[in-house]
Structure 1
């Protein structure tokens, strides 16, 4: 018989708290779904907050000139001949990236056994990265427009560089959120595998010794059979 593998596979508690469909998980997931719906239907308020958050940094990259925001429009380089404004539309807001993240993490909270605090931590990390990436994208568009004008500055920075930045940021944010979700389990698994050799002698060693002890008898029997044939 094969030896037991219990010594090689570390024991993991993948569900330390709660269970699928627990009240806390359902409540957390429903709240995340609600925020996702709100962002999809009424994202004007969110876009205004986003524009207000970007305004100070945008003024810094456009020659340290004054910048201001009105609703979802950011005005750069005020009181200069290069003054212009950028509007954060429904297609350019980070809400488009946050909605899938909210739906994904809400589903994990409802239908899996991951602890709710860890789900919330993953959501915070992923959402923060998505917001940071979108702020960086808008600042890059503002700087390119300030330096090179609408064409080619705005056109290339918005259509090509901005789209690539959003895609990379979305993928990286999702991966970071999932990493936060499972990193403790991976850490416990690695530590368990590293500690496994110390307990090898307890279980499988007798089986290996028994197998080693059987081999001489098999060899003797073969030699006996060979002498008998002679």
Structure 2
């Protein structure tokens, strides 16, 4: 997230004395798994102009420690929602290589990319005006188009083919979320993806899904009438 926000100087805190001292060189990493984690951490630190990892006492880190354990605990009395990202694989196990998705051409991203890269607008005046109006909400980083968000990191823009794969994965794949279309769409954006018809595409999938309709909230007042 810090790299996507173009942050060049970062100071991080951890309550583990072992991790902090291994990174700073005071301790040596003897276990193979710790050596792999240490290597990944140092590679990530080199991407910043300044990076510092400091230890804080566990007594001063209670809130962060509690949030990190929410995935394994149940707090039914909490009224506020706390979003937890579950990591199915260890970062040291190596990254998974997905099959390349052949994207549909042309797609909705092309006018924005041409405008940013070549300063070329569509020939139609109405489409050209829309591109100019929407352009402040987008940015290109490393030849990839991103959508800016108000409170979160940049969201990578995807075409129709990749969008269909993402919706299918979140709805019925390993993520398996049978819920309302707004909840599924919000999860997709938290994962860092965006396309203009996101809500409409998810709504169509939910309407065709029997499990989603079975577990959908019921309007009890309407049933009483």
The TM-score bracket by the shorter chain reads: under 0.3
TM-score normalised according to structure 2 size:
0.21
More helix by share: 1
Structure whose alpha-carbon radius of gyration is higher? 1
More strand by share: 2
TM-score normalised according to structure 1 size:
0.21
